[in-house]
Structure 1
Amino acid sequence: AAPLRCRRDAEIVCWHLRLAPVAALLAWRLRRPFRVFLHGVEAWNALSPRVRGALARADFFGANSVHTLGRFRAAHPRFAAVPGRVFPLGLSSELDDSVAGQLPPELGGRPFLLSVTRLAETYKGEETLLRAFARVRARHPQLALVLVGSGPGLPRLRKTAEALDLGGSVLFAGGVSDADLSALYRACLAFALLSEGEGFGLVFVEAMARGKPCLATDADAAREVVRNGEDGLIVPPRNAEAAATALLRLVGDPPQAARLGAGARRAVEERFLPSHFRARMAAFMGIGGAAQGER
């Protein structure tokens, strides 16, 4: 086999912890520095022995949020002394809303709130959202809630919606096309995700890019994306009453919702455009200047 070769200034970059053993082996074979990007729950959950061993060779950790980097270091203190830096995510490409997507016909023109997530982990907060929505619907019976996403938690959430007597006001849309998702973002009154385990929360950025106010919790990295009172509202996790109060503010006060939505769009233009994302990722990879040494 031909020997492995690379540029003298090359570094090995690992974008997911599952690939760390392969990246570490490659870095060892090539005698090159090795840096790892941390994304979310996989960074602070238990690590396999192979991944732990691979990370012991890492020279630098990048992370998508202060929350992710902090939880990683707290969960795995042996790596706390390794240099690291936060590189927030952003839109990876310009929004293309030129293709007209379709709203679910079941909406029938009703105003609606939107949530987009994988329906699997309980930390995503969808049960809390359903309980909060039940309180909001008592004041706004014409309002609907659209949940986009699939996963093994769907039967459990359907049962919760039935127990709350939400009937046809909750639409479990499953997976949708990019065009249809764009249409949902554009048409919704507000976006809500009450998770307590987001490593970043790119769905917030996607909603904010369409000028939509967002509701998030103060338990994870969402508070680094959504600024309370500026482009959305922040509430404690697992608190349906607080979430309902916040949603009522967004639904019942259109001028405030419009102000927050305008702030959300400005936030994307100032912090989360594709150009911002590319520059941060180039910095992480050491293109045009090393990121090493920052903590």
Structure 2
Amino acid sequence: MTYSDAIGTEALSIALVSEHASPLAVLGGVDAGGQNVHVARLAGALADRGHRVTVYTRRDARELPDRVRLRSGVEVRHVPAGPPEEIPKDELLPHMLGFGRHLVRDWQSDPPDLVHSHFWMSGMAALYATRELRLPLVHTFHALGTVKRRHQRHADTSPPARIACEKEVGAGCDRILATCRDEVAELAAMGIPPERVGVVPCGVDTDQFTPHGPAAARGAHAHRLIQLGRLVPRKGAAVSITALTKLPGVELLVVGGPPPGRLDEDHEVRRLRDLAHGLGVADRVHFTGGVPSEEVAPLIRSADVVLCPGDYEPFGIVPLEAMACGRPVVATAVGGQLDTVADPATGRLVPPRDPEALARAVAGLLADPRLREACGEAGRRRVLSRFGWARIAAGTEAAYLGVLAARPALARVTGTTRVV
């Protein structure tokens, strides 16, 4: 009897491990972005397919409850690993053994059928626990240390052990789910055979992100550009600001970063403001700070074009959100954006760190309202056909069942009894 024969269409108990990216976080902070969205939406979509999902994330504040019901079928558990306070994710590695030990204790009496870890440090914690308990492990990296080191060089603040740890996770898990084709090639360069890797992209909520609905208020300028996401240098906000010098009458809304009341304290905001002042475009650049998730779609709908000018982008949720809202995208031709943005159908792909190329692409779209409308409609169709969460969850579930079917022994949990 195979594992798949044993479980049939029965619901699974699934543990998602996301050590720094809580599905409860406000988006736009330094360490809060696409992974938070991915984990939250994947958990919900798997629950919609009848599975029971528990998300494990690190407790980063004392007042957080042990358990939070995110929605029907999904619970978030806060794991005590390190001090209960915010810690930059690049400083969390020493606490991952404690995280893994907590998982072992939690799972000894009620183990999940399968564990799916997200990001390399979650992978280390989950690998420790799944080895101890002989549980199947699927892993999604979301970003790779080799890519970060290549692009950021001496500015890379990742722990020196990151790449070695990623190789260990890649070799030790049952299956890797990459989010784009570019990642498969990067993993192969690390020595991880492509046959151990499947591709399941990130998704977008096509009910929340839709062309129809309220739009945020606009200023007096003729056109609005929006850039959304974590406010870190690699996201390319400086490129967008520089491009404004070639785009008269256009305003740029930068969404993300610290809470609005703390923008003045943020080093990156100060750097970008100084740049805008020096270029003479400060009156056309506006920073919102981090915003609740329900405000993102109205902001996107208020834009003529959405910018995604990152130096590199492991996947990139924002292009999907923009296309789902029927807005054209100008993005750099890197990483996952090569898979999501179809040039010229849904927008334009430009070289990274090239404000003139960015400005030319934007100017062409702004000059032609019909072209913008056509790109927006094509983007919406593309998202509906490829990137809805129901489709992503189905692909993820198929990968889970493949892992369970391939296990050499039946290890289905029935109550508290494990059959082998």
- Report the TM-score range of the alignment, normalised by the length of the smaller protein: 0.7 to 0.9
Question: Does the aligned pair in 2 maintain the 1:284–1:291 contact within 8 Å?
Answer: no
Equivalent residue for 2:227, pick from 107, 115, 118: 115
Equivalent residue for 2:341, pick from 226, 248, 264: 226
51 and 231 in structure 1: CA distance in 2 versus 1, 3 angstrom threshold: closer
Look up the match of 1:145: 252
133 and 35 in structure 1: CA distance in 2 versus 1, 3 angstrom threshold: same
Alignment of 1:187-206 (within 5 A): 187-206=302-321
1:4 aligns with 2:108: yes
| Code of the aligned partner of 1:268 | V
103 and 291 in structure 1: CA distance in 2 versus 1, 3 angstrom threshold: farther
Equivalent residue for 1:30, pick from 103, 127, 133: 133
157 and 291 in structure 1: CA distance in 2 versus 1, 3 angstrom threshold: farther
Q: Give how far 1:53 is off.
A: 3.9
Q: Distance in 2 between matches of 1:271 and 1:214?
A: 17
Q: Distance in 1 between matches of 2:145 and 2:399?
A: 19
Alignment of 1:181-260 (within 5 A): 181-260=296-375
Q: Give how far 1:229 is off.
A: 0.4
Q: Give how far 1:207 is off.
A: 0.8
Q: Distance in 1 between matches of 2:226 and 2:405?
A: 40
Q: Distance in 1 between matches of 2:127 and 2:222?
A: 53
Q: Give how far 1:223 is off.
A: 1.5
1:63 aligns with 2:183: no
Secondary structure of 2:327 counterpart: coil
Q: Distance in 2 between matches of 1:129 and 1:3?
A: 47
Alignment of 1:62-101 (within 5 A): 62-74=177-189, 76-77=190-191, 79-80=192-193, 83-92=196-205, 94-95=207-208, 100=214
Q: Distance in 2 between matches of 1:232 and 1:194?
A: 13
Aligned residue pair count: 282
Q: Give how far 1:242 is off.
A: 1.1
Secondary structure of 2:299 counterpart: helix
Secondary structure of 1:4 counterpart: helix
Q: Give how far 1:101 is off.
A: 6.5
Question: Does the aligned pair in 1 maintain the 2:206–2:384 contact within 8 Å?
Answer: no
| Code of the aligned partner of 1:86 | V
1:136 aligns with 2:247: yes
User: Where do 5+ consecutive residues of structure 1 fail to align?
Assistant: none
Q: Give how far 1:252 is off.
A: 0.8
289 and 246 in structure 1: CA distance in 2 versus 1, 3 angstrom threshold: farther
Q: Distance in 1 between matches of 2:124 and 2:345?
A: 42
1:103 aligns with 2:217: yes
Which stretch shifts more, 226-235 or 192-201?
192-201
208 and 156 in structure 1: CA distance in 2 versus 1, 3 angstrom threshold: same
Secondary structure of 1:179 counterpart: helix
Q: Give how far 1:213 is off.
A: 0.4
Deviations 1:156-187 (A, max 9, x none): 11111111100311111111233332211112
Q: Distance in 2 between matches of 1:236 and 1:149?
A: 23
Look up the match of 2:93: none
Q: Distance in 2 between matches of 1:134 and 1:60?
A: 47
Question: Does the aligned pair in 2 maintain the 1:231–1:261 contact within 8 Å?
Answer: yes
Question: Does the aligned pair in 1 maintain the 2:327–2:375 contact within 8 Å?
Answer: yes
Q: Distance in 2 between matches of 1:237 and 1:81?
A: 27
| Code of the aligned partner of 2:253 | V
118 and 244 in structure 1: CA distance in 2 versus 1, 3 angstrom threshold: same
Secondary structure of 2:201 counterpart: coil
| Code of the aligned partner of 2:252 | L
Question: Does the aligned pair in 2 maintain the 1:61–1:82 contact within 8 Å?
Answer: no
Percent identity among equivalent residues?
24
Question: Does the aligned pair in 1 maintain the 2:273–2:282 contact within 8 Å?
Answer: no
TM-score normalised by L of structure 1 = 0.84
15 and 43 in structure 1: CA distance in 2 versus 1, 3 angstrom threshold: farther
